[in-house]
Chains A and B, each alone.
Chain A
Amino acid sequence: MTGDGLLVAVDSPVHRIPAQVKLVALFVFVLAVVSTPAAVFWAFGVYAGMLVAAVAVAKVPAPVVSRRLAVETPFIVFALLLPFVATGPQVSVLGLELSQSGVLGAWNVLAKGTLGVIAAILLSATTAPRELLAGLERLRLPATLVAILSFMVRYLSVVSDDLHRMRVARESRGYMGGRVGHLKAVAGGVGALFVRSFERGERVHLAMRSRGYTGRMPLLSVQGASRGQWMHGVAISVVAVVVAVAARMVSS
């Protein structure tokens, strides 16, 4: 196992499920969550319970999950604004007049968003980037897209190193701009970074052609997932679908 990307390098039953199974499971799970009516609160409790169990089985530390939840922050801000800007019947909460539909809307965004993000965190924490690519390839994602993603995985660190070096070079020559100033400088440097990356792209292409590349990337994956692995991995999503259907029936 490589300590790579967002992977939490431990061995667990979830880590061992083939990536393509996990990708399908995630997709179905998120669909189920999204199609659940917001007012059926118990359904979200069940989803959350299933995710907590999955995170525990995967041996992903809870602090890691909560730290990575930070990507959700912009949505939380938006969700918290909803009760104040939405119109319609008002309810009074702690002396504040809030829109009833706004509160429900905020809950809807918060609950579904958080569940989806946790599920995605679970996938990224249990699957190495390379496995993820191999999984997408098995799922018949067009080879060109897989190749683009694979180059992104490979060169993200190279480009961010470039960016880091440019920052060090700026500061070494006495640049003081604080956070905002740096953003400005980065915006200016993006052009240079683009040219550098473009030139690197050309050199990489030369290197590929030198080794006999004719337009088809070799396949990353060799074996598929067994029926048992599919059953195992998709079980959580099947339960989620059942919950979603039940919730729909209850609310209608």
Chain B
Amino acid sequence: MSGPAIQVERLVFAYPDGRQALFGVDFTVERGERVALLGPNGAGKTTLVLHLNGILGSVAGGTGSGRIQIGGTGLHREHLGEIRRKVGLVFQDPDDQLFMPTVRDDVAFGPANLGLRGAELDDRVHEALVQVGMQDHADLAPHHLSFGQRRRVAVATVLAMRPEVLVLDEPSSNLDPAARRELADILAGLDVTLLMITHDLPYALQLCERSLLMDDGRIVADGKTRDLLGDAELMRAHRLELPYGFNPHSVPGPER
């Protein structure tokens, strides 16, 4: 139980078809930090986060090298179960994440795999649903929920495993402004280390003090979100654009 929340060193990876996606990625995320992972499409952001819990990479039998440590535990085959509990991955499409007949079953899936049963399992499910404000919808089928509700349940399915690191793949995509804000409120209130892939730059600024900028399978910038977004030349070089009229220096951020 020591060491940084996420430590990635010299991570290299190529897909089975030979396309190389990661060309030596290095970064460290300290406990309790909130970090946005920015970058254009095809930069390797999703590939990178799929490494963090051993879905891709040499530990899953793929071609690649490098070292990943989560909360001081090295990512090895024998620790895979523990790593997958520590790293909670929320996928982009909630229809991919919610596959059980009801919300309750789905949130219970992760903790049940951890070996929880009976009242303990029910408590865990309830706790996670309360965290995202969906406790009144536990018996509904996922396809009866709105998109924003499904996204929140997807977050709950991961929170139910009490992860140390929450990793989200484009959490604000396809949400209407109110649902987007509600999700931000929920995420801001969680006491976990957060790594968030996003194209929604104001969202990154609102929630994450620090950002990593990724392009062509490398981390090309690492710094305060406000500084990164304010660097017009850097932004242009990596196909990132701020929304019309948005000035990163004139809005409040998460800095305290």
**Is the A/B pair a real complex?**
yes
Residues of A with C-beta under 8 A to B98: 154
> B45 at interface (Cβ–Cβ under 8 A)?
no
The distance in angstroms between the C-alpha atoms of A203 and B158, with both chains bound, is 16
Residues of A with C-beta under 8 A to B93: 203
Query: Which residue on chain B has the smallest CB distance to residue A133?
Result: B101
The distance in angstroms between the C-alpha atoms of A124 and B191, with both chains bound, is 44
Q: Do A203 and B91 form a contact, CB below 8 Å, given A151-B99, A153-B101, A157-B143?
A: yes
The distance in angstroms between the C-alpha atoms of A158 and B171, with both chains bound, is 20
Q: How far is the CB of B89 from chain A (nearest CB, A)?
A: 4
Decide: B96 and A204 in contact? CB cutoff 8 A. yes
Which size bracket describes the interface of A in this complex?
20 to 34
The distance in angstroms between the C-alpha atoms of A109 and B89, with both chains bound, is 54
Among A74-82, A169-177, A183-191, A212-220, the one that faces the other chain is A212-220
- As a 0/1 sequence over residues 178 to 209 of chain A, the CB contacts with chain B under 8 angstroms (1 = contact) are 00000000000000000000001001101111
The distance in angstroms between the C-alpha atoms of A214 and B113, with both chains bound, is 8
Give the contacts of B106-127 with A (CB-CB under 8 A). 108-110, 112-114, 118
Residues of A with C-beta under 8 A to B53: 210
> B248 at interface (Cβ–Cβ under 8 A)?
no
- As a 0/1 sequence over residues 125 to 141 of chain A, the CB contacts with chain B under 8 angstroms (1 = contact) are 00001100100000000
Residues of B with C-beta under 8 A to A208: 99, 109
Residues of B with C-beta under 8 A to A92: none
Which size bracket describes the interface of B in this complex?
35 or more
Q: How far is the CB of B142 from chain A (nearest CB, A)?
A: 7
Q: How far is the CB of A64 from chain B (nearest CB, A)?
A: 20
> A211 at interface (Cβ–Cβ under 8 A)?
yes
Decide: B97 and A207 in contact? CB cutoff 8 A. yes
Q: Do A206 and B50 form a contact, CB below 8 Å, given A212-B81, A218-B112?
A: yes
Residues of A with C-beta under 8 A to B140: 2
> A97 at interface (Cβ–Cβ under 8 A)?
no
Residues of A with C-beta under 8 A to B81: 212, 214
Residues of B with C-beta under 8 A to A207: 89, 91, 96-97, 99
Q: Do A158 and B143 form a contact, CB below 8 Å, given A206-B50, A208-B99?
A: yes
> A114 at interface (Cβ–Cβ under 8 A)?
no
The distance in angstroms between the C-alpha atoms of A133 and B53, with both chains bound, is 31
Q: Do A212 and B84 form a contact, CB below 8 Å, given A4-B141, A218-B109?
A: yes
Decide: A218 and B55 in contact? CB cutoff 8 A. no
Residues of B with C-beta under 8 A to A200: 95-96
> A90 at interface (Cβ–Cβ under 8 A)?
no
Query: Which residue on chain A has the smallest CB distance to residue B157?
Result: A211
Decide: B101 and A150 in contact? CB cutoff 8 A. yes
Residues of A with C-beta under 8 A to B114: 212
A-side interface residues toward B, CB under 8 Å? 1-4, 129-130, 133, 150-151, 153-155, 157-158, 200, 203-204, 206-214, 218, 220, 222
Given contacts A129-B141, A211-B157, 19 further A-B contacts (CB under 8 A): A1-B139, A2-B144, A150-B100, A154-B142, A155-B95, A155-B99, A203-B91, A207-B97, A208-B109, A211-B84, A211-B158, A212-B81, A212-B85, A212-B110, A214-B81, A214-B113, A218-B108, A220-B101, A222-B118
